[in-house]
């Protein structure tokens, strides 16, 4: 008999920063109440602490609440507020609201995916960028719109995508050179 739903949890290599945040999470979870009603609040704490829900965080929450890991994953995967991949240091959010959609938002998203060599919902291997589609950022007059980090870029064109990515990479290199001189 074939299963109705195949649940695949992706495993990401934890960075030293992730491991330190997991230790912080352990402390917070140990102080939390038990009971099924605490599942969503603890998942929110985990995501706020780590930035996403790695397998290890889901396991901590499930073990604390004495539920199965698949139950915890099932609830987390139901809500779109939870993410299972680490966010990039420069999250790219492409607006897909009506105005942006009709003015080429999908093409802008595809260009970011092609340039960064990742799909929507993924993060680059160096964790520098992640791509997400968002419903509306409220800047319809500037459509199509993309956010790179906290910076809004209006009147996006496919030709602007490469320049934005390059700018972020050059700023990172400059910051690293300055840090090396210090």
**Residue list, annotated binding site for [2Fe-2S] cluster:** 95, 100, 136, 140
Write out the two tokens for 19. Answer: 């491991």
Which residues are known binding-site members?
95, 100, 136, 140
The radius of gyration of the chain's CA atoms, rounded to the nearest angstrom, is: 19
Q: Rounded distance, CA 148 to CA 129, Å?
A: 9
Q: Rounded distance, CA 147 to CA 88, Å?
A: 13
Q: Which residues contact 170 (CB under 8 A, 6 or more apart)?
A: none
Burial class (CB in 10 A: 0-12, 13-18, 19+), 90: buried
Alpha helices in the chain (DSSP H): 16-31, 39-50, 55-65, 69-78, 98-102, 105-116, 158-181
The answer to whether the CB of 158 falls within 8 A of the CB of 114 is no
Helices (H) then strands (E): counts for the chain: 7, 4
């Amino acid at each position: 008999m074939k299963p109705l739903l195949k649940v695949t949890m992706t495993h990401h290599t934890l960075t030293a920063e992730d491991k330190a945040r997991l230790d912080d999470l352990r402390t917070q979870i140990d102080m939390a109440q038990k009971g099924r009603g605490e599942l969503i609040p603890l998942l929110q704490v985990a995501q706020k602490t780590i930035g996403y829900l790695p397998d290890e965080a889901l396991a901590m929450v499930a073990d604390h609440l004495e539920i199965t890991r698949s139950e915890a994953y099932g609830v987390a995967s139901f809500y779109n507020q939870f993410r299972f991949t680490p966010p990039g240091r420069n999250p790219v959010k492409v607006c897909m609201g009506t105005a942006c959609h009709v003015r080429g938002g999908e093409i802008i998203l595809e260009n970011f995916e092609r340039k960064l060599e990742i799909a929507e919902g993924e993060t680059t291997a160096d964790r520098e960028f992640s791509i997400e589609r968002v419903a509306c950022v409220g800047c319809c007059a500037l459509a199509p719109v993309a956010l790179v980090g906290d910076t809004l870029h209006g009147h996006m064109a496919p030709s602007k995508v490469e320049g934005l990515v390059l700018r972020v990479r050059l700023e990172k290199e400059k910051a690293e050179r300055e840090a090396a001189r210090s």
